[in-house]
Structures are given as structure tokens and as C-alpha cells.
Amino acid sequence: MKPSDSRRLLIGNRWALVGAIIYLLEWVAILGFGAGNAPSGDPTTGAQAIATEYKQHALAISLMAGWFSLVLLGRILFVAGIRDALRQSGFRTILADFALLSMAVSVVLEISAYTIAGGAAHAAASGVGQTSVVALDAVANWLVLNIWAPLGASVLSAALAMLLARAFPSWLCWLGMVAGVAGCAVGVINGAAYHQGGAFYQVSNVLSAVAAIGFWLWMLITAILLFRAAGRPGRVPAPPAAEGIA
């Protein structure tokens, strides 16, 4: 066996999969709460339609905000699981630390976005003027748009750390890095695309779909591999002295 083909001993854990499952419970709210479109997410939506949406779905939007404040934390737990597995496997790298911090930033932004949406829903139901509701929706929208850059940076950093550790299949690491780069690109252009609308906005939507699907696949496969590796050795242990980027 060539040295380049060797795999580092992977010490897995179950927490990455737990985090991934908790995070994916966001679909309970997306599909089940009937919260409508909040934040509005469409630059062509008129002010009256935005205010009406918040007023009609005030309770569901409030429930969704509370639900997301819990389940989105699963993303942080997932990356913490990767970081712990890399450290337990003898690969210490600042990339894993950076990935964990970046994911935490993305979660804070997303929870903040839906918290503000919940406030807008309460304001609309309480009879506050349309202008105020639309303004709150705009702030929530921009927070959602800014989720992508730190999320993409987290996925890219974690996947690169996995590749350097030589403890995961190379194709899985490259899948994560492609999704991460796409997420970073979306984060850079999202605000301008939303403001500009038209074809630019459609390109941003397509790119975000690629980033999201790639992220979900990478996350689930990585979490399952770590779960399966929990309590059992990997293929070939790496030399104890091997270290990553300090």
C-alpha cells in the first residue's frame, strides 16, 4: 500500500449524527406549522402582501421562531462532532475550530432572523402599521441572506480539515468543499441579487440550491460515517507525531 493511500485511524462519535438529526427537524416547522412566507424572501412581494402574510400567520410564525431557536443548534453540535473526531483521531487543526465558530455565527444569524420575523408577526397582529411590519421583514430577510457566507465557510473549513486528516473518503471531503465554496459565493452575491432581482436573483437561487443540497448530503454521510466509526478502529493508523495545521 502506498503511503498516500493510507488512512488515519478514525475515532468516531455519535454526537455528529445527533446534531444532524436535530438540525433536520427544522422541516417539522417548514412543512408542518403553516407559517407562510416569513421572512417574505421574494423581492417582488408588495408591502400589503407582506403585512397580510404576517398578520394571517402570526401564531405559526411565532411557533416557528421558537422551534428554530432550538433545532438550529443541531448544526453547531454536528460540527462539534467533526472537531472532536478529528482531535480524538490525533489531528489537531485550527480549521476545525474555525469551522465550529463559523457555524455558530450562521446559527445566530438564522435564529435572529426568525426572531425578528416573530416580532413582525406580533406587531402585525397587534395592528401596528404596515410600514413597520415591512421594515422588520426587510431586516429579517437580510439576516437570512447573510447566513450563507459563514455557513459556507464552516463547511469548507471542516471538509478541508477532513481531507488533510486523511481519515475520510476523499470524495466526501471534496463534496463538502464544493458545497462550502458554493455557499460562500451565495453569501457574497445574495444581497445584491435580492436587491437587483431578475436573472441575477434566479442565478443566486440556483447556486443556493446547489450549496444546500451538497451541504445536506455531506452532513448526513459524514455523520453516519462518524456514527459507524464510534467504538471501532479505522483502516490504518497514522503515525502519532503527525499533526495538522496548528
Rounded mean pLDDT of 23-46?
Answer: 90
Number of alpha carbons in the 13 Å side-chain half-sphere of residue 69: 13
For the chain, give the percent of residues with pLDDT over 70. 90
pLDDT digits (tens, 9 = 90+) for 138-184: 999 999 999 999 999 999 999 999 999 999 999 999 999 999 999 99
pLDDT digits (tens, 9 = 90+) for 112-131: 999 999 999 999 999 998 99
Instruction: Report, in angstroms and rounded to the nearest whole number, the Rg of the chain calculated over CA atoms.
Output: 20
In the chain, domain spans = 8-229
For the chain, give the percent of residues with pLDDT over 90. 76
pLDDT digits (tens, 9 = 90+) for 55-107: 999 999 999 999 999 999 999 999 999 999 999 988 888 999 999 999 999 99
> Helix 58-71 and helix 73-88: axis angle, to 10°?
10
Nearest to 212 by CA among 12, 18, 27: 27
Contacts of range 63-66, beta carbons closer than 8 Å, 24 or more positions apart: 63/29, 63/33, 63/35, 64/29, 64/33, 64/35, 64/38, 64/114, 64/117, 64/118, 65/114, 65/115, 65/117, 65/118, 66/118
Indicate the pTM of the whole model: 0.88
Nearest-angstrom CA–CA distance, 41 and 59 = 19
